[in-house]
Structures are given as C-alpha cells and as structure tokens.
Amino acid sequence: MNLPPHITVQDGRLKIGGFDCGDLAERYGTPLYVTDQDRIIALFHAYRNELATRYPRVKVLYAAKANGNLAILRALAREGAGADVFSSGELTLALSAGMAPGDLLFNGSSKSRQDLALAVEKGVPVSVDSLDELHVLDEVSRQAGRVTPIAFRVNPALDVPTHPKIATGLATSKFGIPHGMIRDAYREAMKCEGVLPVGIHCHIGSQILDLQPFVEAARVMVEIVRDLVAMGIRIEFVDLGGGLGIPYHHQVDERAPSPREYAEAVVPVIRKGLGEIGITPGLWVEPGRSLVADSTILLTRVNSTKKAHKNFVNVDAGFNLLVRPAMYEAYHEVIVAGKADMQPAETYTVAGPICESGDILAADRRLPAVHEGDLLAVLDTGAYGFSMSSQYNCRPRCAEVLVYHGQAALMRRAETIEDLTAPMQLPPWLS
C-alpha cells in the first residue's frame, strides 16, 4: 500500500507522526481524528516555494472550509499563509489565528449584510459574486467610510472531470459571474465609491486530478485581465482558487499532480499572459484538500461484526463524522490499525452507527479478519472530514488530536451530551 511519509507501519501496527494509533485511541478515546502538523506545513511550503520560484508575487490562501480547526489555521498562519474564508466564522477564526486581514479573501455566493459589514470593518478583501452583492457591499462600505478592495468571482464555464457536486466552474454552477458578463460587472464596480476593483477570482472545482482545466482557467483569467487593464483597472491580484486533488486510492497506483507539477503547468500561462499585458499582479491560490487531506486519519473502534447478506463491520464513526462517502460516494482507504501487515481474509462493509442505510464508510473492502474491539483507521480525512461533521442522532462530535515533532495534544476535546443540550431551550409552555 502506498502511504504518505508520516503514516507508517511497524510490527504490523499503524503509526501517524511516530505515534501508535492504538495508543492514541486508548489515551483519547474513539472516534478520534488525528492530524500530523508537519505534513501540512511541508505541503504548504511545497506549494509556496514551487510557485514562488516561478513567479515573483505569490500568496497561498488556505481554504479554511477544508478544516477549520484553530490550531491548523494557527500553524499555517505562523508559516505566512493567508486564507480563503467563506463565512463570518471562518473570517473570525483566520484573524484570531494571526492571519493578516489583507491575506484573506471573503468568498461566497450568498453573503449577508452582516457578513459584508464584518469584512469592511476588518479590512478583508471580498470576492463579489453578483451585482446585487456589489451594491450592498458598496452601501455598507460607504456607510462605514471605507473603500473595500474587491475581486469578482468569474464563472469560466469549464467542464471539469470530478464529482458533479464539487465541480464549481460549470456554466450551470451557482457560483460566480458568467464569463461573458464579467466586464460589465467591473464597469459597474468602477462607478461605486465604496469598493475598489483590484482583483479577479475563480475556483473551478475540487478533487481535480488533471492539470488541463487549471491551465484553461488561467488562460480565461488572463484574457479577462487584458480587457480589464484596457478599461483602466489596476489589477493587483489574480486568484486561481484551489481544487487540486489527492490520491485517495492507496492500494493502486493513483497519482495526483504535485504542487510542483501544478506550478509548472499554470505559472507559465500566467507569466506569459500577464507579461504581454505588462503587469505583475500577485498570484493567489486557494488550496484546501491538497494541503490537509492526507495529514489526518479517523480512528474508529469496531462495536460488532455481523454476517448478513454482507459481512458488516459496525464501527463507532459514521456519516455524522465523515459524510464524504455518503454524500459523494467518496472512497477512503481503511486499515485495521493493529493488523496493518496482515493479508486480507474477508470482504467487509464498514458501517457507522447512524440510523440510515446510507451510513456506510467503506463498501466491500478486502481486510484482515476483523473482530469486536479492533481499531480501524480511515485515511485522508483531513479535508472536509470534521469540518462537515454533524450531531445527527444526538451524537456528540469526537475529539481531534494534533501531532507535531513527537508531541501529541488535543486540538479539540470531544463534545459531551451536555454540549448537545446546552443551546436548547424549552419554550415557556413546555417548561
């Protein structure tokens, strides 16, 4: 099995960042998310260095939605990362992690007046998604006596090979302003005193394993920038969004482009195009998954096994903690943590504890013999894992542990039943 360098097998036992998974599960309980900080930081530097050796002004904005834990934002902030934020919550967390307001971009197709007011107050640039939003932001900015730097999110209408639910640059997507209408949007923005158009933004989708769509998107962006510059707009940044995929299949030789291959493919298009126009704006990217996905495993304990029409392994984590398999038919590799060097013995379907037939973490997997009490590790759960979790079935969310340079510590305690009920209130006629 191909494993990333921080995940190892010693005497048949699975380790992350040098820590035995069984020991971590004993110490912190299960289910448990465990993240290796060094892995995230190494990937962040790979991204920034590969881009920065090819282009003079580069910013890596981590897509906070992938994993919004404050510790991860802080670790990245310390290395100089900014963030793509998609809500007031993500914005506030990124700032409290120590990121500079100017290193954030407030994205999203449906921001409230309150969201926009927060961006204005904190001095965070906004990626504007509609003319309606432009006018609200203009008004909010003028009321605050500010001029807010903006980009428009362009919908480049590209057909990207990924799951339809995570392809965001299709012509039919809810995101962005259609490519053909974008120049008019900038014209409108130039009339607004409360905003200053300084950037352009796109994001074509997620879990993309082919570089060609990124190259295409870069071409579209350059083409638009050429017209914007001719209109008299000073473009200070071009933001290409995120979207680079990772290899989720470790049993076969699945490959994803590395940050280097991404930079090699995309930067020449940007460099040449912008060079011809005669400008050198900042080049921003917004990776989420490719920075954090493989840093993390989800440890889950086997409650029972059952031979029925299928061979079920019933574990203590379900789509309440990892919704990707149920939502996108996503594949996550599963390893029996204490039997990592054993040959497969049976075909198992790993099912969660949620009251839905769709609560399957992994279907029809060849695994060594699994018994009650065994510990399973679900790989590549650092992106859109905990961040998409819920309390469905009144299940408190689990803890998250961070490992770093031989240390392990909680970065989130497990929720309790009291945490579930704390915000609930009985209306007066029921109390």
- By annotation, the residues acting in catalysis are 355
Q: Report which residue type is found at 9.
A: V
CA atoms of 333 and 185, how far apart (whole Å): 45
Q: Is 107 in the site for ligand LLP (CB under 6 A)?
A: yes
Looking at 9-17, 242-250, 306-314, 401-409, which segment touches ligand LLP (CB under 6 A)?
242-250
Is the Cβ of residue 15 or residue 39 nearer to ligand LLP in the bound state? 39
CA atoms of 64 and 84, how far apart (whole Å): 6
x/- site string to ligand LLP, residues 182 to 211, per CB under 6 A?
---------------------x--xx----
For β-strands 195-201 and 177-178, DSSP reports them as unpaired
Q: Is 242 in the site for ligand LLP (CB under 6 A)?
A: yes
Q: Is 257 in the site for ligand LLP (CB under 6 A)?
A: no
Q: Report which residue type is found at 115.
A: D
Q: Report in angstroms how near the CB of residue 26 gets to ligand LLP at its nearest.
A: 30
Looking at 33-41, 50-58, 285-293, 345-353, which segment touches ligand LLP (CB under 6 A)?
285-293
CA atoms of 206 and 267, how far apart (whole Å): 19
Q: Around 100, how many Cα atoms within 13 Å sit in the side-chain half-sphere?
A: 7
Looking at 3-11, 60-68, 247-255, 331-339, which segment touches ligand LLP (CB under 6 A)?
60-68
Angle between helices 212-230 and 259-277 (to 10 degrees): 20
Q: Which one of 84, 133, 316, 333 is in contact with ligand LLP (CB under 6 A)? A: 84
Q: Report in angstroms how near the CB of residue 165 gets to ligand LLP at its nearest.
A: 7
Q: Is 392 in the site for ligand LLP (CB under 6 A)?
A: no
Is the Cβ of residue 194 or residue 259 nearer to ligand LLP in the bound state? 259
Q: Which one of 31, 259, 288, 382 is in contact with ligand LLP (CB under 6 A)? A: 288
Structure tokens at 177: 């302003």
132: exposed, middle or buried (Cβ count in 10 Å: 0-12, 13-18, 19+)? exposed
Instruction: Give the Cα-Cα-Cα angle 158, 111, 123 (nearest 5 degrees).
Output: 105
Site residues for ligand LLP, 63-82, by CB under 6 A, read 63, 65-66
Q: What is the DSSP letter of 208?
A: B
Is the Cβ of residue 212 or residue 304 nearer to ligand LLP in the bound state? 212
CA atoms of 238 and 284, how far apart (whole Å): 6
Q: Report in angstroms how near the CB of residue 173 gets to ligand LLP at its nearest.
A: 10
CA atoms of 423 and 431, how far apart (whole Å): 15
Q: Is 289 in the site for ligand LLP (CB under 6 A)?
A: yes
Site residues for ligand LLP, 146-185, by CB under 6 A, read 166, 168
Q: Is 380 in the site for ligand LLP (CB under 6 A)?
A: no
Sign of dihedral through CA atoms 65, 66, 67, 72?
Answer: negative
Cα torsion through 224, 228, 230, 232, rounded to 10: -170
Q: Which one of 286, 333, 374, 400 is in contact with ligand LLP (CB under 6 A)? A: 286
Give the residue from 83, 7, 84, 71 showing the smallest Cα distance to 39.
7
Site residues for ligand LLP, 321-340, by CB under 6 A, read 324, 328
Binding site for ligand LLP (CB under 6 A): 63, 65-66, 84, 107, 166, 168, 203, 206-207, 241-244, 286-290, 324, 328, 383-384
